[in-house]
Chains A and B, each alone.
Chain A
Amino acid sequence: MNFLQSLKMALSSIFSNKGRSFLTMLGVIIGVAAVIAATGFAEGSTASITESIEALGSNQLTVSITGRNSNRDVDYEDFREFTDEYPDLISKMAPTVSGSSTIKYGTNSSDSVSVVGTSPDYADIQDMHVQNGRYILELDMEYRQKIAVIGTAVVGELFDGADPVGETIKIDGTPFIVVGVLEEKDGGQDGGEDDTIIIPVTTAQRVYKSSTIRTFTVLVNDSERVDEAQETIEAFLTDVYQSEDAFRVFNSAMILDTLSDVTQTLAIILGGIAIISLVVGGIGIMNIMLVSVTERTREIGIRKAIGARKSSIMIQFIIEALVLTGLGGILGILIGIGAIYTIISNFVPPVVAPTWALMSFLFSLFIGLVFGIFPAYKAANLNPIEALRYE
């Protein structure tokens, strides 16, 4: 008896009892769908994080200062002087002091708006453009001007369509003059990139009572020289803090490395869940198949009496298990993909991981093989005389 014939027999027996077959497959369907949806979510979030990191550009360095017990701190002027020494290596430099504040204009107010204190270079590093008015200038930094450049979401919330340039807003009670409006970046949604106010870093230090600047972003002229720039910055900061532990300099490659570590861990956890849920599904299949062997004792007896070998019966039942888990796997993949595009796409960009789909399909087949063998063995070894007598 050839394979195709066994497959046909298995299919006809599966389709002659659709309801039960579906219930049998359910464990595998849910297991595989969960794996596909979960990995889709993981890959989707990885993709969107990777995208935003790559948008930073490969020639960007982030300096994070953590040192506390030093007599000397690096403020904007110090770092500016340092970078000005290497004009051919470092092209842009922006400090950031961030906070979240309540903004008021007249009687309108908006809570938890992200306020970023920074320098003129920040516009270039972040690819920001002013659509109306002006950005902050070096002069504002020097004189600690209370001026602000605001995002479109802030405009929408506070100004009711009026022109904000020249108006006075209050950031946590301190009056600031609006000098410019940024171009829209992500559709002006609340809490998004447009719900931002940019002020001079020197002013921000006062408003947020932050004597030190913890973060600097540096743009390196040539992406080939990122390592050189990183070493130069590290040397400078080591000299200032007399310690290599007082700061960290990140480049986007490092961040991506860290991210891929996280993704890998996530994949291992998901893989574990996949294996457990599919094993549970496999036990369900074995249960139903054992019942089915008992129910079909007479059929097995007839088949054996008219010449079916043990191996033919065994293959028939194993193929039935394989077809059940295989179909379950395919249905699970389809349902998983459906979940990615309907539910998960609300949170992260929809990504279907083909390797995960293939792996979970193959694993469900493997489960079918493992859990099909025992019922198949039981069927194959039925005594034909007793099986024929079975009512």
Chain B
Amino acid sequence: MKSLVEITNMIKTYVMGSNVVRALDGIDISINSGEFVSIVGPSGSGKSTLMNMIGCLDVPDSGLYMLDGVDVSALKDKNLAGIRSEKIGFVFQGFNLLQKFTALENVELPLIYRGFTHRKRKQMAIEALDRVGLADRMHHKPTELSGGQQQRVAVARALAGDPPVLLADEPTGNLDTHTGAEILDMLDTIHSQGNTIILITHDNMLAHQAKRKIEIRDGIITNDEEVRK
């Protein structure tokens, strides 16, 4: 299978006062297209930094990052926005929907930045909402939706442009157990339809819902195993 995410010896340091924190201390990861991978680690392990790197929100100090055949580590901020727009779909812990927009408008937003025509992006957004089972709620604003529904809108937003990577950062963190399980089931279904999903969490139980679990601690990968058939 084709390698979608290829990270080699990635290093990222932060200066916190007089301390230099090595958030990523030589990471090597290879994720193939179609995988469902979880990255798990306690807070301060460097998993958020790694997510920012995979999601092209930040650039590493050194190391190589090939995303879908593009050397992202050498790109400038302006081009990173373009990569995020085309290659990455984000799902956040806090949903991060725009409160003043309806569900449909929220899902359309990344498509606007991709430059799709009005008709095309409406059609794509409705399809994505349909995939998460919220087509009938598309004219509701986030405040009129439950937490689980809001997260499903966020998943639809991430899926709408059909990006190669779906990056979910603690997607169940703000939800109760039952709703969280529903969201995970949905991610599993989406994975089974062929999407690549990277799940970032501190919860080991949750991490086992993926097919492959990568453990990170102090900026180093400590374990990488298949957890579910």
Contact = CB atoms under 8 A, between A and B. Distances in A.
A308 B81 contact: yes
B112 A305 contact: no
A1 B90 contact: no
Interface in B103-145: 109-110, 112-115
Interface stretch (B26-34, B92-100, B170-178, B181-189): B92-100
A305 B113 CA distance: 11
Given A16-B100, A298-B96, A388-B92, A306 B52 contact: no
A309 B78 contact: yes
Interface residues of A, number: 23
Contact of B109 (A303, A309, A385): A303
A354 B85 CA distance: 46
B82 A306 contact: no
B86 interface: yes
B22 to A, nearest CB: 18
Residues of B in contact with A, size category: 20 to 34
Contact of A306 (B58, B100, B101, B113): B113
A180 interface: no
Instruction: For the complex of A and B, list the 7 residue pairs with the smallest distance between their C-beta atoms, beginning with the closest.
Output: A307-B85, A309-B81, A306-B110, A307-B113, A302-B96, A307-B84, A16-B100
A308 B92 CA distance: 17
A312 interface: yes
A95 interface: no
5 contacts: A305-B96, A310-B77, A310-B81, A312-B113, A385-B57
A299 B81 CA distance: 15
B57 A306 contact: no
Interface string A307-319: 1111110000000
A110 B4 CA distance: 102
Given A312-B113, A384-B57, A305 B98 contact: no
Interface of A: 1-2, 5, 12-13, 16, 298-299, 301-312, 384-385, 388
B47 interface: no
Given A16-B100, A299-B98, A310-B81, 16 more contacts: A1-B113, A1-B115, A13-B100, A303-B109, A304-B84, A305-B90, A306-B85, A306-B110, A306-B113, A307-B81, A308-B81, A309-B85, A309-B113, A310-B77, A311-B78, A384-B57
A307 B110 contact: yes
B148 interface: no
A309 B82 contact: yes
Contacts of A298: 96
Contacts of A385: 52, 57-58
Contacts of A307: 81-82, 84-86, 110, 113-114, 161
Interface centre among A1, A298, A307 (most CB of B within 10 A): A307
A312 B78 CA distance: 11
B167 to A, nearest CB: 10
A119 B52 CA distance: 98
B202 interface: no
Contacts of B98: 299, 302
Interface centre among A298, A311, A384 (most CB of B within 10 A): A384
Given A384-B57, A388-B96, A310 B78 contact: yes
B157 interface: yes
